Structure 1
Amino acid sequence: MSFFKNPAWISQYDYPYQRVDDIPEHVYAQINQKLAKLTQSDNPEVSIVIAAWNEEVNMLPTIGSLADTVTKIPFEILVVNNNSTDRTQEVLDKLLIRSCNQPIQGCGPARQMGLEQAKGKYILSADADCIYPPLWIDKMIEALRPNDVACVYGRYSFIANETTPRWKLAIYEKMKDIIAELRQLKRPYLNTLGMTMGYKTADALKVGYVMRHVRGEDGRLTFDLMQFGKVVQVKSSKIRVWTGTRTLDKDGSFFDMVKNRIVKEFKRLFSYLKPLPPHDTKTS
């Protein structure tokens, strides 16, 4: 984990564009040139499924970083356009990736569409506003291959900006990782986030995503997948996914954000020590 500054390697994906019209054609060409050299395949072993809603400019760092993947595993990138009202589809059409549309609003319906359209034996779930390190695919699939593993998830970090320095974010991430270790004991599904998780396609098709607009669609799927095997945390710092702070910024100041999350986690603390009984994740 980088404590005082953002890692240098993510700076290459810091595209300065605010609108689709600002994106030069040569940027698409550079990304496509890299994608063309990868082991993308019509018969992939892995499908990287990305749900996108109004991510017209945010998509570039995501696809650009995935284009720099280092792997020999045949894979595909599949983006589900979740009823976007901006020009997300226009950006997708200019990139050498697959896309499809899900008119039902919500991450659950979008990821379900990706699950049904995916060609790979394994699915890696990604978000449309993240930066992925070169070894992400290999390390995640290495952990997912064993027969007794149903789901894997990785760790993530926040990109520092003008208002929130990296050291503050690093402290928060350390707290987050400690809570994740506690959750992993009895309730690992609470740790799985769609930005960096993986599962076997055949198993996921048996249980499916919740088909309504509700938070926690990733954890609900993982809870149902636990009948097929264990949930594994991939702790390697080499595959930390990097994302912006827009989810944190909703709480206002950094102090308010940390305080709110400490209070919330303290209230839940003892519940993490016992498993949640079986229940219907689609209606709960």
Structure 2
Amino acid sequence: MPLVFLKLGGSLITDKSRPYTPRPEQLDDVAAQIAAARRERPDLRLVLGHGSGSFGHAAAQQYHFQRGAETTADWHGFAEVWYHAATLNHLVIEALHRAGLPVIALPPIASVSTHEEKIFIWDLYYLRAALEAGLIPVIYGDVVFDQALGGVILSTEALFAYLARALHPERILLAGQEDGVWENFPQRTRLIQEITPQTFAICREHAGSAAEPDVTGGMKTKVEHMLALVQEVPGLQVVIFSGQTPGNVQRALLGATPGSVIHA
């Protein structure tokens, strides 16, 4: 049975220009598309992830927390980022549940440990069990405890990268606001439809970035990480596309490749 990872970007499900502001209609629309794709392709195994958007990122900036926790103030910031990321996760789970999807939230802070921001412990039993039962595990960008730094923020892409090496999905779908990776950001007139190790050297200076601050890195960082991953996981394809375009999420889940495709 095919396995697909789908990330709902923070820019898609929240208003990143306004702290702690969800986009409930967008959430409901995406949830409905996922449900429709599952009805059309009932054998599809799916791991969902989502960014923290204007919840976790805003809290990280407000409380000056990103990398490392030592002082009481640092740990207070750590807890605030956790709270706001968990709040958004609850809203996402509610939307998916309303659409009739059998989702199970698996908060990274409860099962993932890092060392200098690299995952070295993740008990995947529960995630594997959820997939085996036909459920949809949902993970998200979160704070986690780090053996060297105390506490750090771990992005959904970092979680997906670790999972991809363990579970070998066919595709990773990254749904955001942008139509894909632009050759000329912010003008947005030339979309890069295909990115490989050979072509990335040419387009790397034009990969662009997010319109709003993102403490886990912008578009160029995302492309670099995904390009490294497709070279490690045989046959993996990554698609960066707009989840705002009507029907795009459903089409991507059913095998279409809107936006920019990254492969080895």
The bucket for the TM-score relative to the shorter chain is 0.3 to 0.5
Q: Which has the higher strand share?
A: 2
- Normalised by the length of structure 1, the TM-score is 0.32
- Normalised by the length of structure 2, the TM-score is 0.34
